[in-house]
């Protein structure tokens, strides 16, 4: 084995020198090594070359190593480094100087220094703590045994009363590597036989409670000095762990405290739900038992037997695992002592596992007392409740004057009278239901009638030579939940028989059998697990679903038995709702997209309200009944109750509440703004005033001409008509001051004679327009641009990769000459930024009026022709270019740039210097830095071992507050090479400026299926992060969810999308919807439509007009215009050279 590694002590592997061989195993060797860089001892696990050359094993090794590296707990071995090179695969761990638990106990026993029970409980509690932590991280060990528990002396006690030893759990994930694939295959189990849980033996899906069972075996061994089951083959492991109750510890160790005895039995419960819920709960119980020990504080120990390894059946290699059906077949033919040679009693209690008790004596006492043969822990059961006694025809039951009675088939028994108890009849004792089964092949093998519900959880039927048991026969599940049925098949015939198991009534995709057939010896019984898992979507409609489990012998079609079962799918509400647009002018129509995401028909209501009470809401329908999964579009218009005559336009916030009629308190609230415009625009009011005054002046002049004109023979008075000025305002009013021209109407005593003055007077001017007031310039509301496509001045000469805007100024970068140009939307003209750059611009950012660009270029050129060496990063100040230090290394280019509110610049791409793929320019210090602790130790984002085809790199950076979101193609983000502390950051991670740490986004990763997947685009809008690229799954809090090239994270959950047809390169979001560009097609519920640019309106994906004729690589929106750039030359049916604009209708 290990010699296959062909390495020698003293040899150097990477930065590690091999100093001593610590052990050898089936996958390789473990060495004590020395880290030459950090000058410390480490443990190095070196895999065999033949395994290192196996691509599947390498992939599994890296996955398990990454998972284990996330664990940070004082009782879990710390993973320091791992490497994958051709013919070389190794893992570096912290070095633990102490022995493993097996050697430690043997040493204590040999030295006649047995372990105190308090020390045993304390050490076990440390392991339970560690397992609880690992299980919270979603990691199951699968091979807990004394050999994998190391002991390290510590300077102080680990917890009050516990020994000065620290238990270190090792080999997380290695059981998967040795015994099978990444996921446990149905019918295959892995681990060490004496310590395996029942569900491991049956090849079922495991959770943390499986590890707690294995830890219970270790504790049982430490306390009693023996294993609960002596097993040396898969057949024995399968039978004993699944069917046989362990010897009661207190019977093996007289005087053992009851709390410890109960703790051990609970840890070794056959069903996971009857064990401790998690490691934390078990640790609390262990420490509580240690406190209650009193004087009984030691146990005599014998040396623990050597570690057992699975013995493969004929034709199965050691690394291939053990097949359950093979083990079961071997079991049926093996000469194993079977307790079912006796009649046996079945006991069921609601909420507990049904258990079997052999009826091996002529008389058995049932009750709550210590001396009872069958003890029932139930306050409704008397101390001595009833007695079972053997009769010629079977069994009888005698009630012993119990307080609450004994009931046979629902009838209370008379005290002291022996009543016959037939097989299949149910005896009720307190909360317990009891039935007895005759021995298999014995004298009591009477024909069994169909048994009713045993405690409401189990049904059994017997027909001819088949016995069939289903537990539970009734179950209730919600969407996404699962349950496991245990189906027992019994061969009651006299020949070896082959049985096939089927289910009917449930969707085949909902069920999975651990195996669908079994071969049984006469009298033998086998168990098959059926996992039922409901889908998370609306296809799991609510209601009661009857189904049937059937066993049939293919050799005899008439030989079959079936059990009727029932599944209740619980009703669950859910809705998806969105509104577009969120800003409405009064009278404008908004669209509300509503979908029933629950699994039951639901009626939804809608209501609108605003705090000012200024609006009325007109819905196309205020109530809608939707079937599960059904979508509906509802329109709404706002109307103002009292529209003002004058004044400025008002923005009135409003909300629309959507809720299910059967849950009116569960309200989804949509927020929007309504624009209320006055009847008269503000600019029209002064013009109306001018017109009114002018009308008054003209009226006065007309009246004078008609009623007050003097005789022309009178004293000469020059009448000068007013100069026409339609916008003048009459300001002169009549006055009594002498010498002031007055325009009067004739007095009531006037005659036909004209008024005459005795003295000539100066010429007077009747001037109603004496004072002219300039008219104010009207303030006009800008007319919104007409919807549709926009040409940007003839476009550009080659591919566009980046667009960013600042008001009317839109900066465009790409592959064309000079790399960057400026489009002015106000003047509709292109202009230059000096002489641009001498290469390609991939991304643009704007901060305080300055333009930051990155890409693949060496120089930036000023307007006077002078060159500035910038190396892939440059800043345009408005008149000239400048560099940021020495830029970033050109290997091969940088792809993303962003600037935070302090002026720090983040640049991402594919480079090694000044950091790994992402670097930060510190504006206050004017220097480059990494996002981590040590820039020399690969701080940043990367692949482990850099073994992915195409390498690792960053495509996009978006900043929201203190969070810097980074996307691209990578598998880990870390502060340095030795701080691999971020779980599941494949292709997407976030750096927090406050904590200076990396973290995962949304509980997980974006597609870790293969290295060709990556994230290309990010957008942050209204508190939501939108992610686009080449991926089809996301990982959210332990669950994989299907999505299609785009997903959205709102801070608490992921939103998935399913109707995009290909890769997303760019995302832009505004109130009109989510825009995506790339190699895109949309198909919704109908035929696929090629587009390259699409919009999601909250209800479905749509092509933006007729789309483009080639890929869209860049999108930018200012809320009105959408700018798009890429490889296209046509957009919306019009010529568009690589760049275009769009206004949404």
What CA–CA distance (Å, rounded) separates 697 from 170?
A: 102
Distance of CA 36 to the CA centre of its chain: 40
Give CA separation, 181 vs 148, 190, 195, in Å: 21, 10, 21
Helix (H) or strand (E) holding 452: strand 451-454
Pairing of strands 322-323, 188-189: antiparallel
Give CA separation, 1088 vs 1080, 1091, 1102, in Å: 10, 10, 11
The one catalytic residue among 35, 72, 87, 143: 143
Nearest CA among 967, 888, 977, 875 for reference residue 935? 977
Q: Which residues of 627-663 are buried (b: 16+ CB within 10 A; e: fewer)?
A: ebeeebebebbbebeeeeeeeeebebebebebbbeee
What CA–CA distance (Å, rounded) separates 105 from 124?
A: 13
End-to-end Cα distance, the chain: 72
Angle value at C-alpha 409, between 403 and 410, nearest 5 degrees = 50
Q: Residue 254 burial (CB < 10 Å; 0-12/13-18/19+)? A: exposed
Pairing of strands 418-421, 458-463: unpaired
DSSP string computed for 326-364: HHHHHHHHS----GGGS-EEEEE-TTS--EEEE--SSEE
User: Reduced to 3 DSSP states, what percent helix, strand and coil does the chain have, rounded to the nearest 5?
Assistant: 15, 40, 45
* Tokens 């599960």, residue located: 628
DSSP string computed for 753-791: SPP--SS--PPP---TTSS--PPPPP-PPPPPPPSEEE-
Q: Is 736 a catalytic residue?
A: no
* Tokens 């999505």, residue located: 1043
Q: Find residue 191's DSSP bridge partners.
A: none
What tokens appear for 1045 in the block? 């090239």
What tokens appear for 752 in the block? 């036909």
* Tokens 């049956």, residue located: 202
What CA–CA distance (Å, rounded) separates 217 from 246?
A: 10
What CA–CA distance (Å, rounded) separates 459 from 470?
A: 5
Put residue 470 in one of left, alpha, beta given phi > 0 → left and psi -120 to 50 → alpha.
beta
Contacts of 876 (CB under 8 A, 6+ apart): 820, 833, 834, 850, 851, 853, 860
What CA–CA distance (Å, rounded) separates 1103 from 1090?
A: 8
For the beta carbon of residue 878, count every other beta carbon within 10 angstroms: 9
Contacts of 473 (CB under 8 A, 6+ apart): 453, 457, 458, 459, 563, 564, 565, 566
* Tokens 């290192």, residue located: 52
Q: Which residues belong to the active site?
A: 143
């Amino acid at each position: 084995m290990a010699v296959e590694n062909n390495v020698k002590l003293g040899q150097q592997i990477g930065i590690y020198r091999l100093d001593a061989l610590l052990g050898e195993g089936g996958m390789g060797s473990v060495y004590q090594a020395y880290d030459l860089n950090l000058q410390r001892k480490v443990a190095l696990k070196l895999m065999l070359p033949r395994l290192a050359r196996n691509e599947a094993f390498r992939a599994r090794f890296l996955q398990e190593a990454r998972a284990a590296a996330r664990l940070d707990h004082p009782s879990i071995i710390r993973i320091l480094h791992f490497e994958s090179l051709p013919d070389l695969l190794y893992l570096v761990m912290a070095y633990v100087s102490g022995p493993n638990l097996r050697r430690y106990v043997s040493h204590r026993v040999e030295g006649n220094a047995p372990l105190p029970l308090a020390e045993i409980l304390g050490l076990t509690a440390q392991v339970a703590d560690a397992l609880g932590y690992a299980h919270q991280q979603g990691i199951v060990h699968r091979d807990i045994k004394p050999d994998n528990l190391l002991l390290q002396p510590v300077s102080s006690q680990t917890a009050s009363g516990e020994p000065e030893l620290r238990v270190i759990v090792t080999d997380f994930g290695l059981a998967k590597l040795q015994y099978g694939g990444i996921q446990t295959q149905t019918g295959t189990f892995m681990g060490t036989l004496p310590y395996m849980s029942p569900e491991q033996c049956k090849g079922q899906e495991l959770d943390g409670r499986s590890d707690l069972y294995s830890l219970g075996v270790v504790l049982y061994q430490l306390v009693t000095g023996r294993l609960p089951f002596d097993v040396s083959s898969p057949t024995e492991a399968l039978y004993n762990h699944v069917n046989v109750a362990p010897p009661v510890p207190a019977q093996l160790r007289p005087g053992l405290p009851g709390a410890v005895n109960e703790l051990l039995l609970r840890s070794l419960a056959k069903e996971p739900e009857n064990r401790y819920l998690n490691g934390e709960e078990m640790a609390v119980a262990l420490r509580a038992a240690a406190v209650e020990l009193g004087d009984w504080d030691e146990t005599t120990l014998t040396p623990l037997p050597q570690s057992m390894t699975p013995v493969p059946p004929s034709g199965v290699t050691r690394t291939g695992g053990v097949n359950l059906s093979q083990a079961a077949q071997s079991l049926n033919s093996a000469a194993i002592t079977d307790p079912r040679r006796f009649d046996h009693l079945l006991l069921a209690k609601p909420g507990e596992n049904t258990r079997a008790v052999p009826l091996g004596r002529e008389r058995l006492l049932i009750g709550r007392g210590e001396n009872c043969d069958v003890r029932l822990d139930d306050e409704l059961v008397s101390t001595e409740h009833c007695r079972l006694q053997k009769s010629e025809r079977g069994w009888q039951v005698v009630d012993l004057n119990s307080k609450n009675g004994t009931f046979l088939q629902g009838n209370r028994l008379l005290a002291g009278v022996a009543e016959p108890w037939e097989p299949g009849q149910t005896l009720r004792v307190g909360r317990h239901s009891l039935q007895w089964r005759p021995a298999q092949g014995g004298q009591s093998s009477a024909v069994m009638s169909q048994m009713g519900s045993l405690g409401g959880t189990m049904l059994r039927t017997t027909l001819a030579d088949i016995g069939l048991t289903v537990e539970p026969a009734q179950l209730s599940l919600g969407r996404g939940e699962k349950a496991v049925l245990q189906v027992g098949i019994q061969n009651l015939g006299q020949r070896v028989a082959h049985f096939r198991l089927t289910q009917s009534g449930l969707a085949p995709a909902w069920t999975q059998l651990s195996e669908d057939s079994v071969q049984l010896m006469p009298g033998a019984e086998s168990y098959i697990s059926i996992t039922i898992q409901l889908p998370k979507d609306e296809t799991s409609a609510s209601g009661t679903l009857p189904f049937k489990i059937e066993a049939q012998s293919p050799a005899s079609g008439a030989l079959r038995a079936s059990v009727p079962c029932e599944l209740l799918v619980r009703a669950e509400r859910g809705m998806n709702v969105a509104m577009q647009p969120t800003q409405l002018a009064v009278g404008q129509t908004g669209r509300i997209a509503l979908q029933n995401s629950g699994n039951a028909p639901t009626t939804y209501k809608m209501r609108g309200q605003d705090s000012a009470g200024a609006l009325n809401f007109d819905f196309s329908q205020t109530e809608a009944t939707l079937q599960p999964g059904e979508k509906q579009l509802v329109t709404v218009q706002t109307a103002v109750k009292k529209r003002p005559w004058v004044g400025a336009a008002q923005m009135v916030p409003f909300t629309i509440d959507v809720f299910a009629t059967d849950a009116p308190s569960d309200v989804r609230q949509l927020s929007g703004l309504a624009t209320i415009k006055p009847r008269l625009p503000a600019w029209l009011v002064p013009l109306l005033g001018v017109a009114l005054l002018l009308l008054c002046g003209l009226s006065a002049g007309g009246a004078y001409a008609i009623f007050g004109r003097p005789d022309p023979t009178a004293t000469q008075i020059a009448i000068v008509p007013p100069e026409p000025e339609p916008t003048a305002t009459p300001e002169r009013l009549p006055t009594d001051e002498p010498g002031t021209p007055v325009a009067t109407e004739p007095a009531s005593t006037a005659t036909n004679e004209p008024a005459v003055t005795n003295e000539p007077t100066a010429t007077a001017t009747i001037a109603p327009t004496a004072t002219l007031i300039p008219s104010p310039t009207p303030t006009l509301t800008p007319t919104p641009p007409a919807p549709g496509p926009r040409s940007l001045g003839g476009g550009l000469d080659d591919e566009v990769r980046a667009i960013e805007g600042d008001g009317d100024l839109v900066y465009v970068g790409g592959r064309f000459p000079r790399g960057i140009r400026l489009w002015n939307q106000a003047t509709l003209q292109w202009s230059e930024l000096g002489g641009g750059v001498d290469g390609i611009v991939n991304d643009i950012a704007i901060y305080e009026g300055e333009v930051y660009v990155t890409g693949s270029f060496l120089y930036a050129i000023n307007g006077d022709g002078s060159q500035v060496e910038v190396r892939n990063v440059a800043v345009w100040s408005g008149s000239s270019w400048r560099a940021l230090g020495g830029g970033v290394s050109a290997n091969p280019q940088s792809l993303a740039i962003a600037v935070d509110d302090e002026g720090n610049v983040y640049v991402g791409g594919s480079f090694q210097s000044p950091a790994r793929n992402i670097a930060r320019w510190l504006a206050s210090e004017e220097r480059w830095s990494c996002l981590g602790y040590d820039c020399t130790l690969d701080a940043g984002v990367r692949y482990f071992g850099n073994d992915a085809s195409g390498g690792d790199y960053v495509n996009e950076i978006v900043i929201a507050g203190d969070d810097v979101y980074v996307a691209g193609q990578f598998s880990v983000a870390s502060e340095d090479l030795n701080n691999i502390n971020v779980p599941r950051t494949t292709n997407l991670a976030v750096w927090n400026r406050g904590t200076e740490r990396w973290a995962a986004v949304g509980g997980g990763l974006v597609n870790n299926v293969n290295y060709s997947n990556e994230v290309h685009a990010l957008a942050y809008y209204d508190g939501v992060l939108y992610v686009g690229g080449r991926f089809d799954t996301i990982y959210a809090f332990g669950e994989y969810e299907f999505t299609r090239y785009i997903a959205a994270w709102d801070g608490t959950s992921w939103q998935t999308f399913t109707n995009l047809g290909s890769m997303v390169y760019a995302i832009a979001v505004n109130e009109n919807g989510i825009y995506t560009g790339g190699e895109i097609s949309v198909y919704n519920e109908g035929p696929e439509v090629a587009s390259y640019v699409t919009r999601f309106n909250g209800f479905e994906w749509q092509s933006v007009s007729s789309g483009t004729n080639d890929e869209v690589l860049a999108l930018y929106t200012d809320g009105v215009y959408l700018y798009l750039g890429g490889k296209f030359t046509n957009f919306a049916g019009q010529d568009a050279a690589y760049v275009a604009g769009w206004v949404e209708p």
